[in-house]
Structure 1
Amino acid sequence: MGQDRTLARGARVFGSLLLAALALISLVWIARDFTKADEVVDVWWNWAGLPARAEDGVWVTSFLEPTLVLLYTVAAVTAYRSSSSGAILACVGSLTAVLRVPGLWNLGSDWMQGVPDGLLSKVLFSTIATVVLGLVLVVTAVVGRRPAQGPSTGYGYGFPAQDTAEGSPAGPTRGGAVTAFLLLGAGGALLVAWEIRAVQQVGWDRYEHLLTGERSIVRLLDSPAGWVQWSVVVLSLTAGVAALAGAPFSRPLGLITAAPLLALGLFAVAFGVKTEAFGHFGDLGIEAQLRLLTSLYELVAGAAVLLALARGEQRASRALPRYRGGGSAAYGTSPQTW
């Protein structure tokens, strides 16, 4: 989204409703898994990757569901009132489509035998609906644009502009941009290194299944491990470079990218705590130690990026400011909220 473009009110309302619908779909499947678990906590450990028994032997949700529910909820509220709503809708929609699209070919595959047909059909239909809603979010972000009304709040007394739906999208602060670039860049590089290591360990034929999901999906809504990792890599590097360049869209993109990065670290750390890997850190091999340290880095880096990009700077817009009264408009920089 350009600095002088924002979304019309109708597009913001429509986008928020789409995000609410996406959150509801994920919540329905989370609730389903809770009803099938022997104990409520089993769902959490299932998300962390630990074996847990479901009533019918089938888990639907993965760590992506709670992550996306939180993301959709925050984005729905924020997109309604923020001048960065176009970038928010486009980024969340793109992330949704990318993470869900592997289900379109996996859920209809022959190797999914053993899953009750009724359940499989429902998951497939909800996946199709989710991908469509994600793409509609992107289209809404593109076609719903209108010229921004300038950085002024409209009071005309020199007050700094706020990141409301009427102003220009705010870019990251200089310090936040550098922090996001370093943390996201390092996170992306670590994930690339581990994926290269995985190819060396299992060979390309088996690693290809980690990308496509063939015979490697154990939770129906889960995305292939390699697919998720490379998606986060692309998002991290893109958001980091865009932040360093000061692009206004880099703030919502960076904040949205931090969510799956933080989730990867959080659930990996939970797995390590549950299996007492951290308690026996010194007894582990060097590779296992590095994996644990990587999960800690993902957790810390994701949280740090959220903090670094939480505030932004308003740049002077090409649009003329509005005046009310005899005061002058301010063209300086000011703290912004997403």
Structure 2
Amino acid sequence: MTVTRPARLTGAALCAALALLSAVWILKDLAGLGSPSDLGWYWAGDPHFLLRGQSATSLTDPVLLAVSVATVVAALRSRHAASALAAAGAVTLALRLPGLWAPGSGALVTALLSLALAVGLLVTAAAGRRSGAAPYEPRPSSPRTGPAVAAGVLLAVAALVTVLWELYWATAMDLDITVDRFTGGRTVIKAALAPPPAWLSLVLVALYGTAAGSAFARARHTRAFGLLAGVFLAAGGLAGVARATRYEVIGDFGGLSTTDRLSLLTTCFGLLAGIAVLALLAGRGAPAPAAAPAPYPPAGMPPPAPPYPPPPGW
């Protein structure tokens, strides 16, 4: 499946609008905090900056900004434009949905605009497909078996680890706090635009699982969903490793509790696995099988010209 030219332009425009929406909020937070490093540590989950509560964005927003910009390029130039538009639209829709019931008019307006643009991406990806392609237009290719299986294993492990952590927090906390972690209640400290932590984990599990299943099946949309999953996995791991380095937790690994050790190992795995998934799926896909030559010329075609000069007995 390829994408028509109008669909490519429409998808690129919608992604550009999503990128602009995220960029406006990031610039607003940057002006409020006054320092890019402070905003970066807020995104990394530094408790000192989280308690100050002066930022409306979270780590999700710069990741969505980068995803939107990359999807603009993919929509205009990539053979995987349809799957890239669908992946970006689905993830944006899922992550911005909690903004509908979040406090504050800014979060509500942002959620409504983002949801409208995300639905537009999904509609564009579905309606703009065409089965045939011009001879000069490359078709989407499947990933190679080795890299696809390796990326699928890493993403499946990431999904399993995320599920196990959510089960741990659900059993370690009271029921009302567990519910607030899904709905964004008053007991949860988060940025205005940030999805609730358990909701974010649910979305990531769905993304990792979808990308892993696509990788195992070597589907043509593996690259779009796999690269998107790798970006979120690497970003979360990078934030955790940066936070642990800032507070010198890595050097005191032996003195940490079992939970803190597992948390640190999870963030390190996320960073390394995310980078590995990006490297595995960013390469060239498997070559498309060559079409078998037709035994006879198509109907209506003139016969080939006789040889010149004619051979003896022609």
Task: State the TM-score, normalized to the length of structure 1.
Answer: 0.81
* Identical-pair percentage: 36
User: Post-superposition shift, 1:317?
Assistant: 8.4
Q: 1:53 to 1:199 in 2, by over 3 A?
A: closer
- C-alpha separation in 1, matches of 2:74 and 2:243: 32
Q: 1:210 to 1:254 in 2, by over 3 A?
A: same
Residue 233 of structure 2 corresponds to 261
- C-alpha separation in 2, matches of 1:82 and 1:31: 29
Residue 130 of structure 2 corresponds to 146
1:203 to 170, 174, 185: 174
Residue 164 of structure 2 corresponds to 193
- The structure having more radius of gyration, on CA atoms, is 2
Q: Is the 8 A contact 1:6 1:147 kept in 2?
A: yes
- C-alpha separation in 2, matches of 1:60 and 1:218: 9
Residue 307 of structure 2 corresponds to none
Residue 205 of structure 2 corresponds to 233
Secondary structure of the corresponding residue to residue 2 of structure 2: strand
Paired AA for residue 313 in structure 1: A
When the two chains are superposed, the root-mean-square deviation of aligned CA atoms in Å is 2.1
| More off after superposition, 95-104 vs 230-239 | 230-239
Q: Deviations over 1:255-296 (max 9, x none)?
A: 111111111111111111112111211110122111101000
Q: Deviations over 1:202-250 (max 9, x none)?
A: 0333211111111225211100111111211111111111111111011
1:128 corresponds to 2:112: yes
1:40 corresponds to 2:24: no
Residue 180 of structure 1 corresponds to 151
| More off after superposition, 57-66 vs 292-301 | 57-66
| More off after superposition, 34-43 vs 22-31 | 34-43
1:286 corresponds to 2:258: yes
- C-alpha separation in 2, matches of 1:182 and 1:314: 23
Q: Is the 8 A contact 2:79 2:139 kept in 1?
A: yes
Larger relative helix fraction = 2
The 5 A counterparts of 1:1-338 are 5-52=1-48, 58-107=54-103, 120-149=104-133, 153=136, 166-215=137-186, 216-311=188-283, 312-316=285-289
User: Post-superposition shift, 1:83?
Assistant: 1.9
Paired AA for residue 286 in structure 1: T
Q: Deviations over 1:64-110 (max 9, x none)?
A: 11111111111111221112111100010000000010011123xxx
- C-alpha separation in 2, matches of 1:217 and 1:86: 37
Q: Deviations over 1:113-146 (max 9, x none)?
A: xxxxxxx323321221011101110010001111
Secondary structure of the corresponding residue to residue 140 of structure 2: coil
Could you tell me which runs of 5 or more consecutive residues in structure 1 were left unpaired when the two chains were aligned: 108-119, 154-165, 322-338
Q: Is the 8 A contact 1:211 1:226 kept in 2?
A: yes
